[in-house]
Amino acid sequence: MKRDDVILVRGGGDLATGTIHRLWSAGLKVLVLEAEHPAAIRRQVSVSEAVYEGGAVVEGMCAALVKTLDEAVVVWHRGDVPVMVDPKGELIPQVRPAALVDAILAKKNLGTTRDMAPLTIALGPGFTAGVDVDLVVETKRGHRLGRIIREGAAIPNTGVPGVIGGYGAERVIHAEKAGVFRNVCAIGDLVSAGETIAEIETPDGIRTPVTTRIAGILRGLLRDGYPVTPGFKVADVDPRREELENCFLISDKARCIAGSVLELIAANLWK
């Protein structure tokens, strides 16, 4: 493959998908590398769902799970985005991408190095621009969201979600114990404060309810059957009950970050 052909994105969650969609919309050839068992909760806007379903559609962009680079070429020819399971990035030397974007959003570097591509970009904390990647894009909501960092790192993870509709930590739900996650509700459901949206089934067969803290729209929900540990993020409630469509649209945050990534790739590859 030619180096100038492929933009490789590590990660296919909702923020990563915002970047993938923007690059795809600009006519670029994108390849997504994902984990074997992605844990996105905003599944309606995450191409990582292709790992489970074989394909995913987000705002008109079709993603397809492939097993080989030859299959990826077929997907590109029809104008879609191939997704491959390769959490360690073992295929990167074969792909020889023109640019690599680490969009795993793990709050730490899971193995991306600056020599993986002529241009390496990382989203969020856990990376140092000019050291392990060329550039970093800020992902924390606020005045610095989307800013390009050429030296240093993004704002460290605070563990506190950004405020939406007046709520921050209250809108995000985490597992209280280990077990298997079992859905009761679905993404897009209107929920009340204290409502059971899911259950966690422990090895002894006991099911513990997972409840909401605020009323609103269930914007994100972990896949049914996913194994969780205490503190694992499992759901997201949007208090703006009138904005149901948001469950199925790329977020403003994701689009802001995506614009910065496209800016960097355009500036570096189309000089």
All structural domains of the chain: 6-157+251-270 (3.40.50), 172-239 (2.40.50.100)
- 222 CB-near residues (< 8 Å, 6+ apart): 39, 41, 181, 183, 198, 228, 232, 233, 234, 235
Q: Could you give phi then psi for residue 65, rounded to 5 degrees?
A: -75, 130
pLDDT of residue 271: 66
179 in Cβ contact with 228 (< 8 Å): yes
pLDDT of residue 190: 95
pLDDT of residue 229: 97
106 CB burial (10 A radius; 0-12, 13-18, 19+): middle
pLDDT of residue 158: 73
pLDDT of residue 99: 97
What is this structure's pTM?
A: 0.94
pLDDT of residue 161: 75
Sheet with 207-211: strands ordered across: 207-211, 196-201, 179-183, 227-228
253 in Cβ contact with 163 (< 8 Å): no
Structure tokens at 107: 């709050």
Residues of the chain with pLDDT under 70: 1-4, 271
pLDDT of residue 18: 98
CA distance 102 to 110: 9
Q: How far is CA 258 from CA 161, 199, 248, in A?
A: 19, 34, 17
Q: What digits encode the pLDDT tens for the residues 154-174? A: 999 877 777 777 877 899 999
**What residue spans of 34-98 are helical by DSSP H?**
50-53, 69-77, 92-95
